[in-house]
Amino acid sequence: MSSLLILKISNRGGVSRSYRFRHTGEYVFGRARDTDIRLPENDPYISRRHFVLHYAPDSSSVKNLSQKNPVHVNGQPVDQISLKQDDVIEAGYTKIVVNLVPVDSQFVSCNCGADLSLLADSDGQALDLGKHVEYRCRNCILKTYGKPKGTVDGYWILKYLGAGAMGKVYLVYHPETARILAMKQITEVAEAQMVKRFLREIRILRDLSHDNLIQYVDGSSGDKKPYFVMSYADSGNLQSLLFDEGPIPYPVSFQLVADSLDGLDYIHKKGIIHRDLKPENIVLHKTEGSLAPKITDFGIAKKYSNEEWTMLTGQKQVFGSIFFMSPQQILDFQNVREAADLYSIGVSLYYLVSGRFPFDYPSPYEIRKYIKDHNLVVGKLSEGLKHMGEARSQIAVLEMIIRNEPIPIRERLPDLPEACAEAVDRALLKSGDCRYTSAAEFRDALRECV
């Protein structure tokens, strides 16, 4: 089995950096400017040419080049030695930790078979991004999408995907790394407060990495039109899955939501409250034949370890999607904690498995079904709602969520196993203190059901 070699280099000043080696060759380390890897020039115990690394996919070794201060491996001076996992190379005050990562001989390839390994890891992120992104060669991209519709900082705009409150989303291709990604770019007419929220989303996302979260890849917060690039989920979202297939059987919906709760547990442990969880904000990516849910859209998320976030949400503002908001979020959006997100996930699950809301009000799925059944020609769901005679003011809807008890899910689905119904209903309890204590506890309860 061949291996990718990663060397993590750190000095006594606490500065560290990593280098990745995949292509066979010799690499000289030392203080001289013409070395391949330059070590700290202010370290008196490092020679101009201190040692040479011999790298090949099936073996790696170091050979000493310094007469006065020989290179050490695991505390012992060496002339030449093969490297193993977790070996520590020492040159003066600099320590270099060896990481040998087993990889296939062609570790990134296009669907057509083209080897994209060199491009994919040209910025050193291929391993970190792992299963988060897809790769394609230029020829396949051009055959599939035609010429780019435009470019932004080297990213090819392939097609428009949609728009949200803060910006537009595009499918993009980065020819330098062969990655297919999604780009979110703020609109030109965005208000200053909206720009601040957009930049906040960038700062939150770039510190997160989890299989059940959308993955930040790149971005720009420049003066023109800020944007960020993220992994592209190719299979829609939980809302579109419900629209396409109807109410989702509980073994499937429970598993999708349990996996989403893995991601939610991760961000909660980072001190982040999402505050806008709903089926549309849980996107789906097909991986090895199954759908992997990924939480996205952190535009109104709040990080409790930073007071800056509080300044961006006014005392009387209410943000989020109404039917997925907890009573606490409606009454005090600024100060909601983890229990509010658990409620939102609970309503999402209720909706996915039943097609209905836990209150006496038509859901988007029910409205679409009504429009289809009655052969109505309408442009928006709100027009279908008027035909149903169910249009109400936002205030009336908010009051309903605050005052009315959620309808137990077994009244919607009498055949749902009792333990499964209890798992859903607990997440919707009026008091946040009576819900699950964590996303992990909610996740475990759902997995016990399937």
Active site residues: 276
Q: Across the strands, what pairs with 303? A: 272
The Cβ of residue 58 has, within 10 Å, a number of other Cβ atoms equal to 8
Distance CA 63, CA 100 (A): 18
Could you tell me which of 12, 43, 48, 15 has the C-alpha nearest to residue 31?
48
Helices (H), 61-187: 117-120, 126-129, 138-145
Element (H, E) at 385: helix 381-387
What three-state secondary structure class fits 174?
strand
- Residue whose structure tokens are 């939610």: 264
Q: Sign of the C-alpha dihedral, residues 51, 55, 61, 63?
A: negative
**Total count of residues recorded for the chain:** 450
Tokens of 27: 């690499």
Instruction: Bin 236: left if φ > 0, else alpha if -120 < ψ < 50, else beta.
Output: left
The DSSP symbol for 318 reads -
| Extended beta strands in 234-352, E state | 272-273, 282-287, 290-295, 302-303
User: Can you tell me which residue has the tokens 């428009």?
Assistant: 160
CB 62 within 8 A of CB 81: yes
Structural element, H or E, at residue 7: strand 3-10
* Rounded (10°) angle between helices 250-269 and 418-427: 40
DSSP β-ladder status, 25-30 and 37-38: parallel
Residue 324 CB contacts under 8 Å (≥ 6 apart), including other chains = 276, 277, 278, 344, 347, 348
Structure tokens at 184: 């979110």
Q: Token pair of 434, please?
A: 């009576």
